[in-house]
Each structure stands twice: as C-alpha cells, then as structure tokens.
Structure 1
Amino acid sequence: MNDISYLMLRLVAGISFFGHGLVRLPKLNAFSQWMTGSFSKSMLPQSLVTPFSYALPVAEFTIGILLILGIFSPKVIIAGWVVMLLLMFGTCLIENWEALPSQMIHAIILVALYQFIAANSISLDQFFKK
C-alpha cells in the first residue's frame, strides 16, 4: 500500500513540475521577459535573473519527467527541492506572498518523497536495479 501512495505523491510532484516546464518552453523568450520584468525592482541583478529565467523551464520539465518515470529519484528530488528554494527566495524578494504557499507545498512534498524513498518501488529506479 505504501508503494501506491508513494507513486501517487511522486506523480503529483512530477506532473506539476512537468506541466510548468511544458507550458513555458514554447514561449521561453516571453517567459524570460515576464520574469525579468517581475524582478526589475528587486535587489537581484538582471545578470542573475535572465539566465535563471531561461534555465527554470528546462529544469522544471526535466525534473518533472524524471519524477514521473521514477528514475534517479533521490538526486532528482533534491534538485527539485533546490529549485523550490530558489523560487521561494525570489518570491520573497518581490513580495509575491500569494505564490509562497504553493511553493512551500511543493517543497514539503519533495521532502516527504525523500524521507520515504524506500517506498519508491513502482519506478524505473527499481526496474534498473534488477
């Protein structure tokens, strides 16, 4: 039963990351312009925001696919958690308090996935162990 629950939670996180990346990749330039505009009055220099705005959708898409498939799970979960920390930091800098709870929920789900990684039995990680 724990393996099914773990799969369900992993898929929730995976679909969210995947969906965020999927919709942003085709409009990468517009997304980057929106993000740099959002951070224009923050203390972060544009020289940091611009590369992050291009890397974020790629990271989200990749993390999402890997979570859905359940491959390289421990490393992917940590990568997703780091992305969430960076997003939370940026969200605080621009005082977008409405976005913070969603980001915190994502981070907590990733912590739970990492904590109970032994239940990750329905995954490509397990398939490749054989």
Structure 2
Amino acid sequence: MNTKITYLIIRLGVGASMFGHGLVRLPKLHAFSEWMLKSFEKAMLPEMMVLPFSYVLPIAEFAFGIFLILGFLTRISAIAASVLMILLIFGTTLIENWGALTPQFLHLGFFAYLIQHIDKNRFSIDYSLKK
C-alpha cells in the first residue's frame, strides 16, 4: 500500500508543478512568448522554432498537469511531459541557463518514476476506469 501512496504523492506533486507553471503563464501568454524569444535571441535556434514552442509550452504544462493530478491518461501524459522536459533541457543548454537544469532533471526523473511504476497508479481515474 505504501508504494501506491508514494506514487500518488509523486504524481500529485509533479502534476501540481506542471499545472502551476501553465496556470500562471496562460493569462500572460504573449508576454511569456516575448520573454522566451528574448531569452533565445542569441541561441542557435531560429525564432521560427522558438515562437510556436513558446505558445505551446504553457498549454502543454497546464494540460499535462491536470491529467497527472487527476491520474487520467497518466502513462501517456508522463511520456509526453518527459518529451517536453527533454526539449526544455536542450533549450536550457543552448542558452547556458545551467541553474534551470536541476529542476528540469528532477521533473524528468519523477516522470520516469511514474512511467516505470504505472502499475502503482491505484488512486486515479485510470484505475477507476479499468475496474
């Protein structure tokens, strides 16, 4: 039972983090996009790649956060959030923002845990739908 509770705690924690990141950015989506473009202006990524990502990122964070909090499509959400985090890690290295790497790697580790131990996802919508 403890591993199922541990799974719930990690799922809720990382879900709340993703949800919160998206939630605070959505109302100021344009300003967030401008900030991101400014952050990447000296990076080797062209603006035509950064611009769409800057608008998709908060929406994806918000959606994955809600899904993880609810335990709905948990495995798919954790995999998609992992891909998103890997993209963020890559971008972070391009702008040499070394301080942001640690939290990004922590998120990635939590997503990997959720994927690896999906069988412990007892307190979730996914589990309720399987019954």
Structure-1-length-normalised TM-score: 0.99
* SS state at 1:43 partner: coil
1:85 is aligned to 86
Displacement of 1:46 in angstroms is: 0.2
2:102 is aligned to 101
Stretches of 4+ aligned residues off by more than 3 angstroms: none
Superposed CA RMSD in Å reads: 0.5
Structure-2-length-normalised TM-score: 0.98
**Residue-by-residue CA offset, 1:81-103 (whole Å, 9 max, x unaligned):** 00100000000000000000010
Does residue 57 of structure 1 match 2:58? yes
- Count of residue correspondences: 130
1:16 is aligned to 17
CA–CA distance in 1 between the matches of 2:76 and 2:62? 15
* SS state at 2:23 partner: helix
* SS state at 2:41 partner: coil
Does residue 40 of structure 1 match 2:60? no
Please tell me the residue identity of whatever aligns with 1:3.
K
2:124 is aligned to 123
Structure 2 residues without counterparts, runs of 5 or longer: none
Displacement of 1:2 in angstroms is: 1.1
1:68 is aligned to 69
Displacement of 1:129 in angstroms is: 1.1
CA–CA distance in 2 between the matches of 1:11 and 1:37? 32
Does residue 29 of structure 1 match 2:30? yes
Identical positions, percent = 55
